[in-house]
Amino acid sequence: MTYHSFGSIVLAVGAATAAVAVASPAAAQDTTLAATTQEPVRRGIQAGDVLVRVRAILVAPNERSGGILPAFPGERVRITDSVMPELDVTYMATDHVGFELIAATTKHHAEGRTGTTGSIGKLASTWVLPPTLTAQYHFSPRGVVRPYVGAGVNYTIFWNEQASTGLEKAVGSTSVRMKDSVGWAAQVGVDIDITPKVFVNLDVKYIDIDTSARLRTTAIGTQSVRVSLDPLVFGIGLGLRL
């Protein structure tokens, strides 16, 4: 190898080394930039989010009953509890304010408490559908634990009302009708994240429900009774942020 050839090789290697040295910081900078510009995982909620929850609920009426008129003015009725699934959807209008609509239907029985109707026991049954719209305030929208309170209105529909076998044995064929109700509602609850999009929900509602039941019987004519159900609704379930 001549001195000229050896010099050419040294110059070529030097140039290549310099090129690598210049390129390496640029490549490292590009990698760092890509890492820093990757979108972080978002937790919590914000304006525009839609939250879907599926809960198991216990509907526990705090009933107050008038007398069964005109035949049994001194006798009252009670309303049984019910457990059912429930679906609700919340739209977040702002980071803190959302609007929730719930949909669930539960079956309840009206029972006599004392006297003649108490000896019969179950008097009638009905399904209750109380669509409820509440405005909620979420205290910590970016938190893993997000408590909220809410207030709103409900329209309660009573459907598939039926007299019990025991009542019809006592007074003959009976038809039952219950008046729909409009009332207010209040709630308190909390969402607890278990993944960035999935959370556990605990919720308690109070729903104002007042109705009157009319029973048209064969043996004792038409009877009526006013009942305030006013249930507490206890819910636990899972939610998904869409």
Contact 218, 171 (CB under 8 A): yes
| Residues whose CB falls within 8 Å of the CB of residue 60, separated by 6 or more in sequence, listed in order | 81, 231, 232, 233, 234
pLDDT tens digits for 31-73? 444 445 555 777 899 999 999 999 999 999 999 999 999 999 9
* pLDDT in the model for residue 41: 75
Instruction: Name all contacts of 223-227 with Cβ < 8 Å and 24+ positions apart.
Output: 223/68, 223/69, 223/70, 223/71, 223/72, 224/68, 224/69, 225/65, 225/66, 225/67, 225/68, 225/69, 225/77, 226/65, 226/66, 227/63, 227/64, 227/65, 227/66, 227/77, 227/79, 227/110
pLDDT score, position 43: 84
Q: How confident is the model at residue 145 (pLDDT cuts 50, 70, 90)?
A: very high
pLDDT single digits (tens) 7-29: 443 344 344 444 434 444 444 45
Task: Decide: residue 213, CB within 10 A, 0-12 exposed, 13-18 middle, 19+ buried.
Answer: buried
Identity at 93, one-letter amino acid code? A
State how far the alpha carbon of 220 is from the alpha carbons of 168, 170, 174, 179, in Å: 11, 10, 10, 21
pLDDT averaged over the chain?
88
Planar angle of CA 221, 211, 136, nearest 5 degrees: 170
Q: Which residues contact 103 (CB under 8 A, 6 or more apart)?
A: 86, 87, 88, 131
pLDDT at 104 exceeding the cut of 80: yes
The set of residues, in sequence order, having a beta carbon less than 8 Å from that of 135 and lying 6+ positions away, is 97, 98, 99, 150, 151, 152
Q: CA–CA separation, 238 vs 53, rounded Å?
A: 6
DSSP, collapsed to helix, strand or coil, labels residue 215 as strand
193-204 pLDDT tens trace: 999 999 999 999
- How far is 80 from 125, CA to CA, in rounded Å? 10
Stretch 165-180: mean pLDDT: 97
* Single pTM value for the model: 0.81
Cα–Cα dist 179/158, whole Å: 7
Match 């190898």 to its residue by tokens: 1
